[in-house]
Amino acid sequence: MTIHSTHPFADADPDPARRLRGRLGGAVTLWTAGDERERAGLTVASLMVALGPEPAVLALLDPDSDLLTVLRETGRGVVQLLSWTDRQLAEAFAGTAPAPGGPFRQAPFVADAHGPRLATATTWAGVRLTAEREVGWSVEVTAALERIEIGDDADDPLLHRRGRFLRLP
């Protein structure tokens, strides 16, 4: 139950580009990089896959994120698709929910040559950083898809639209 019929802290002059981005929506992924000594992760929904002789994933990352720092240092990472049951984990890696002991303590991860991989992720990719550039308030990274594992289509993907997590009907 709520006492507000609209968002209680709505911006009086909302940014049209932000509103458009919110309406595009998409799958929620967890990007991870590093090893047992230093590892970092970030929830990412702004991404796309570019097909071709060397397929790649392009994503917009927070320029101040630990993930971007570790990804630059190691040159490798793991991109895993999250499922509906991973909602709390997505919030923890986004920094919007408490994560006692850090977000990596919220779920089991296994070591992979590309970085830490969520043990329950059935669809994931090992990537190699190939390029980056500043775009708006983000850093667009291009990462070559070096290893791809495709899980069961019956997975219940975690989706994001208009600031909320959703699931397929």
- pLDDT tens per residue across span 86-136: 999 999 999 999 999 999 999 999 999 999 999 999 999 999 999 999 999
Cβ count within 10 A of residue 128: 18
CATH code 2.30.110.10 for 26-166: yes
Burial class of residue 124 (count of CB atoms within 10 Å of its CB; 0-12, 13-18, 19+): buried
Query: Buried (b) or exposed (e) across 130-163, using 16+ Cβ within 10 A?
Result: eebeeeeebbbbbbbbeeeeeeeeebebbbbeee
Q: Looking at this protein, which amino acid is placed at residue 109?
A: F
In angstroms, rounded to a whole number, what is the distance separating the alpha carbons of residues 27 and 86?
12
Domain ranges within the chain, ordered by starting residue:
26-166
Does position 2 have pLDDT exceeding 60, yes or no?
no
Give the dihedral of Cα atoms 44, 57, 19, 163; nearest 10 deg. Answer: -20
Question: What are the tokens at 115?
Answer: 């970085």
Please give the C-alpha separations between residue 30 and each of 3, 51, 84, 98, in angstroms, as whole numbers: 34, 21, 13, 17
pLDDT tens, residue by residue, 22-74: 777 789 999 999 998 999 999 999 999 999 999 999 999 999 999 999 999 99
pLDDT score for 8: 64
